[in-house]
A and B are shown apart, each in its own frame.
Chain A
Amino acid sequence: MAEQGVAQVWRRIRAMYRIEGNMCETCNTYYFPPRPVCPTCRRKGKLELYTFKGLGKIYTFSIVRQAPEDFKRQIPYVIAQVELDEGTRLTAQIVNVDPEDVKIGMRVRACFRKIKEFGSGGIIVYGYKFEPVMKVTGHE
């Protein structure tokens, strides 16, 4: 038996650390997290691994003010759906910005952060959050 959370997080590390998903070469659609079957093409689909560029814009967001135990220390925090440039959306926190300044349509890029601790004394979960793009990085 694995310690609580260890196997559950470990088996998803590639997707959570690198935003690795897949794309269907038949219909040219990108998926994150990677899907086992292309829901459009099904058995005609041809899925290949794809690492997302990690750039996109905010599709919608909220400021979380009441959170479960694992996230309590972070409130208030911004959670958003980010629409990646490949057209796929995912759910992630937005950091390095004043919550009041977050807007729909804001350009963001992925950054590597601690997500939470898996219960008290549990393993630390790392993965993607997003931050506003800055001119110095060349990402606009």
Chain B
Amino acid sequence: MSNNVAIAGVGISKFGELWDKNLRDITLEAGMYAIFDAGVPGADIDGMVIGNMSAGRFTGQEHLGALAVDMGGLGDIPAYSVEAACASGGAAVRQAYMAIKSGEHDVMLVLGSEKMSDVNQTEAMNTISVASDWEWEGMFGATFPALYAFMARRHMMEYGTTEEQLALPTVKNHANAVHNEIAQFQRAVPIEVVMKSGLLADPLRILHSAPITDGAAGLVICRADLVKKYTDTPIYIESSEQRSDTLALHDRKSITTLDAVVSSTKAALHEAGLELKDIDVLELHDSFSIGEIIITEDVGIAKKGEGGKALEEGITEIGGKFPVNTSGGLKARGHPVGATGVAQIVELCLQLRGEADKRQVDGAEKGLAVNIGGTGATSIVHILGR
């Protein structure tokens, strides 16, 4: 276990279609909340990392590092921008973790941000699909939902996963989001509605898919020996691991398991000196419901092929043995792609600090987040402890 890096404060903007706010508004909001929550003087922050997938295409703005530092009034500190598609947020957390661990920085602001609703639905879809292998998948007509539909179809054939099971992550995550005041959809959805929603790419439907969302999330992270100076409720990053896989889904031996998730989770548990049974709460990347089912298996909550069954048995509900996506997940909290990985860490911190209100997992001490990019070509896992 390497408790060298701690989280002093967290912040998150409202998630949703925020037509009255632009990229810099939401980014600043999340950053300010994190700084106020940490109680850290701005002068102590010596570096900033921002995760963002595609502000250039979504809003026409790039150079987000400089933008965030400028808007935040953080002076001339170095500002880094990182991109790993939907895992950009997790990548930002990991970059800051490594920068502090290396000794180069002491106190850093980590941001994740995406403003997606300034373009129309078609352009948003085009922009997201460049997370896959655009020249050899997208250009031949494979939309992003179609690639996850490929996985779903194989999972149904190989393991007998049912359409009912495919709907369950949505039902659970919407129920959790009812109690999350920043979530995009704070309402429950009955299973019949999910199963009758419009088809995007058979067998995947609109309510199996995370929405288009504007939103930002932030953390103040620092050297563990400094954290008590700022907060009485520090959360420690016990491990951070990242693995890669082929960019194109068709190059994988199997498409019903995400190898990078399996290996990064295993490495993160090993690094933290923990086993899965020690984990109390998880945020797993549910950009499509089949993604949550597959990742539930790949982290080890269920045996391969039994992710749907684990959902049926309520193992991943709040109150179950392994609560997954207490925040509402990407489906119901919303999925501003570059912000998602940071938002997952914000939720785990609230859970471990006992501040998650009606969605609180009693006595949660260890949390695990899986943030993936594209169809699993990047997987980033963080384990937090209090």
A interface, CB within 8 angstroms of B: 12, 33, 59-69, 71, 74, 77, 79, 81, 89-93, 104, 115-116, 125, 127
Number of A-B residue pairs with CB-CB distance less than 8 Å in the complex they form: 87
In the bound complex, what is the Cα–Cα distance between A64 and B250 (angstroms)? 17
Closest 10 CB pairs of A and B: A62-B149, A89-B250, A62-B201, A63-B202, A60-B150, A62-B146, A60-B154, A91-B137, A81-B250, A60-B153
Q: How near does chain A come to B206, taking the closest CB pair, in angstroms?
A: 8
- Mask, B226-264, CB within 8 Å of A = 1, is 000000000000000000000011110001000000000
- Which residues of A have CB within 8 Å of B139? 115-116, 125
B interface, CB within 8 angstroms of A: 122, 125-126, 129, 135-137, 139-143, 145-146, 149-151, 153-154, 157, 198-204, 248-251, 255
> A60-B154, A60-B255, A61-B150 are known contacts. Are A67 and B143 too (CB-CB below 8 A)?
yes
User: 8 A-B residue contacts at CB 8 Å?
Assistant: A60-B154, A60-B255, A62-B201, A64-B142, A65-B198, A65-B202, A68-B125, A91-B136
> A90-B250, A91-B248 are known contacts. Are A79 and B198 too (CB-CB below 8 A)?
no
> A63-B202, A68-B129 are known contacts. Are A81 and B150 too (CB-CB below 8 A)?
yes
> Are B251 and A65 in touch, CB under 8 angstroms?
no
Q: How near does chain B come to A47, taking the closest CB pair, in angstroms?
A: 16
- Which residues of A have CB within 8 Å of B149? 62
Q: How near does chain B come to A74, taking the closest CB pair, in angstroms?
A: 7
- Which residues of B have CB within 8 Å of A90? 136, 250
In the bound complex, what is the Cα–Cα distance between A53 and B243 (angstroms)? 34
In the bound complex, what is the Cα–Cα distance between A50 and B148 (angstroms)? 30
Closest to A72 in B: B122
> Are A33 and B141 in touch, CB under 8 angstroms?
no
In the bound complex, what is the Cα–Cα distance between A85 and B107 (angstroms)? 55
Out of B136, B199, B202, B203, name the residue touching A33 (CB < 8 Å). Answer: B136
Closest to B129 in A: A68
Closest to A9 in B: B139
Out of B153, B200, B202, B249, name the residue touching A104 (CB < 8 Å). Answer: B153
> Are B154 and A65 in touch, CB under 8 angstroms?
no
In the bound complex, what is the Cα–Cα distance between A90 and B139 (angstroms)? 12
Main secondary structure of the interface of A (DSSP, over half): strand
> Are A63 and B201 in touch, CB under 8 angstroms?
yes
- Which residues of B have CB within 8 Å of A79? 140-143, 146, 201
> Are B153 and A116 in touch, CB under 8 angstroms?
no
> Are B143 and A64 in touch, CB under 8 angstroms?
yes
Indicate the member of B126, B141, B251 with the most A CB atoms within 10 Å.
B141
> Are A81 and B140 in touch, CB under 8 angstroms?
no
- Which residues of B have CB within 8 Å of A74? 141
> A60-B154, A89-B250, A89-B251 are known contacts. Are A65 and B140 too (CB-CB below 8 A)?
no
> Are A64 and B150 in touch, CB under 8 angstroms?
no
> Are A68 and B142 in touch, CB under 8 angstroms?
no
Indicate the member of B125, B198, B250, B251 with the most A CB atoms within 10 Å.
B250
In the bound complex, what is the Cα–Cα distance between A52 and B25 (angstroms)? 52
In the bound complex, what is the Cα–Cα distance between A67 and B143 (angstroms)? 7
> Are B122 and A69 in touch, CB under 8 angstroms?
yes
In the bound complex, what is the Cα–Cα distance between A62 and B153 (angstroms)? 8
- Which residues of B have CB within 8 Å of A12? 135
Indicate the member of B122, B129, B202, B255 with the most A CB atoms within 10 Å.
B202
